[in-house]
Structure 1
Amino acid sequence: MSDREPRTLGERTLSSVTRARTPTRGSTRGGRGRAQAEASASGVAPPPVPPVDAGVAAPGDPRFEGIMQLQPPKFTGTGDPEAATRWIEGLEKAFELLKCSEEEKVTLAVYQMQEVASTWWKATRREVFPEGVVPEWNVFVRAFNNKYFSSCAKQLKMAEFLHLRQGPMTVDQYEAKFAELSQYAPRLIQDPEEKAMRFIDGLRPELKDPLVPFDIKNYNELYGRAR
């Protein structure tokens, strides 16, 4: 066994997860023995141990220690469709840091669901992951997006991107909105020149007109000059 102490948050979390998942033989036998002795003394049979359900998270599970320290976002199932996208992206950042397995990703995501979203998952999880099927993150995300980010919502975001104009926004604010909405229309910005053209077309005239003669085809350069 290595003497190296875990240094990163992910390593410490994984170390605690491993220890939590591997109870010692003596502690297991001792726990069962005490439970049986107490049950015999009281004359009441001990309650059955509930099966582990990968779709339902339990507070106090050591697997949540690391991700709770990162304060991941919660999701209620209401509001702008963008909230669903931001929630998934926020969780995936935490998962990458903690080196979570596919099953742990699903479990931790479900733990962060509240209100309407939690109710939806309780009613849906057996359809998404039938009994005996190991949860996979991509499968969960697909089911989640089908519920909370419909094709109609995607079309609306694409239309918003196509009609985006700087207006009263600063250049930095406009660029941030451009980047945010462009993810819903990836085919429209695949060509770097077309991406630059769409960006400059949305600038206010007093910023756009002096830049047009330069015929700048690099997006980053165009953004820098517009600032």
Structure 2
Amino acid sequence: MVIVGAHTLSFREFCACGAPTFYGEKDPISMRRWLKDIDNAFVTNFCPKKAKFRYASCLLKDREWDWWDEVAREVDDDAVDVVSWDDFLTRFRAEFAPVIEVPLLTRDFQDLFQTIETMAKITAKFQKSPLLVPKYAIDEEIKKVRYHEMLQDDIRDYVTISGCKTLYDMISRAWERQIDLEHLGKNGPD
């Protein structure tokens, strides 16, 4: 438990705010999503900085817990008790988002183009990837342009960037077009 003002913050309260466990692999996208979810739980709970490491490390499971247990064994017991959140983040990122993979995944995102995938599959791939490319993660217009670029021709010709106010609007129109094309394919041209 951690005392916040006159209130003691329990681990149960921390977890109740949506703090997820981390079962991820060495995957920069999973790692970033987990850190974002953990950060949201910290903010919601007004979690003091000194408690962040302790609470977050308790959410590591399976192989991830084994990794942290090994790190803790390398550091003496007194040092583990004073591990800073920043130190934990540095070690965590180095382990679960190897530097070499981030540029490769970024390139995969920038080379992403729809071929035979359904709109559901290509949109899921698209929405997963911008976490690695900050300019895409924060700028809706850049995301719209990139999404439009990656659509297959018969969908892209139907969906215009200027005709869509939001990325969600563009995704909806692209899905509508896919349904129209599937319908035309089954019934033949009118």
Instruction: Tell me the TM-score normalized by structure 2.
Output: 0.68
Of 75, 88, 99 in structure 1, the residue corresponding to residue 22 of structure 2 is: 75
In structure 2, C-alpha distance between the alignment counterparts of 1:82 and 1:194, rounded to whole Å: 19
Of 80, 89, 96 in structure 2, the residue corresponding to residue 148 of structure 1 is: 96
Q: Kindly indicate whether residue 58 of structure 2 is the aligned counterpart of residue 111 of structure 1.
A: yes
Partner of 1:101: 48
Extract unaligned runs of 5+ from structure 2: 176-190
Contact kept? 1:196, 1:219, Cα under 8 Å: no
Of 153, 158, 163 in structure 2, the residue corresponding to residue 210 of structure 1 is: 158
In structure 2, the CA distance between the partners of 1:115 and 1:210, relative to structure 1 (3 Å rule), is: closer
Q: Kindly indicate whether residue 161 of structure 2 is the aligned counterpart of residue 169 of structure 1.
A: no
Q: Kindly indicate whether residue 123 of structure 2 is the aligned counterpart of residue 131 of structure 1.
A: no
Instruction: Tell me the TM-score normalized by structure 1.
Output: 0.58
Q: How does 1:196-207 map to 2 (within 5 A)?
A: 196-207=144-155
For 1:163-195, what per-residue CA distance to the aligned partner results, in whole angstroms no more than 9, with x for missing partners? Answer: 21234232x654443232122123568876654
Extract unaligned runs of 5+ from structure 1: 1-10, 18-62
Partner of 1:85: 32
In structure 2, C-alpha distance between the alignment counterparts of 1:188 and 1:90, rounded to whole Å: 19
User: How far 1:74 sits from its partner (Å)?
Assistant: 1.9
User: How far 1:124 sits from its partner (Å)?
Assistant: 2.1
- Structure number, greater radius of gyration: 1
Partner of 2:8: 16
RMSD of aligned C-alpha atoms?
3.7
In structure 2, the CA distance between the partners of 1:122 and 1:96, relative to structure 1 (3 Å rule), is: same
Partner of 2:128: 180
SS of match in other structure, 1:65: helix
User: How far 1:77 sits from its partner (Å)?
Assistant: 5.6
SS of match in other structure, 1:94: helix
Percent identical among aligned pairs is 21
SS of match in other structure, 1:16: strand
In structure 2, C-alpha distance between the alignment counterparts of 1:90 and 1:69, rounded to whole Å: 12
For 1:192-221, what per-residue CA distance to the aligned partner results, in whole angstroms no more than 9, with x for missing partners? Answer: 66543322111121111234xx56397726
In structure 2, the CA distance between the partners of 1:132 and 1:203, relative to structure 1 (3 Å rule), is: closer
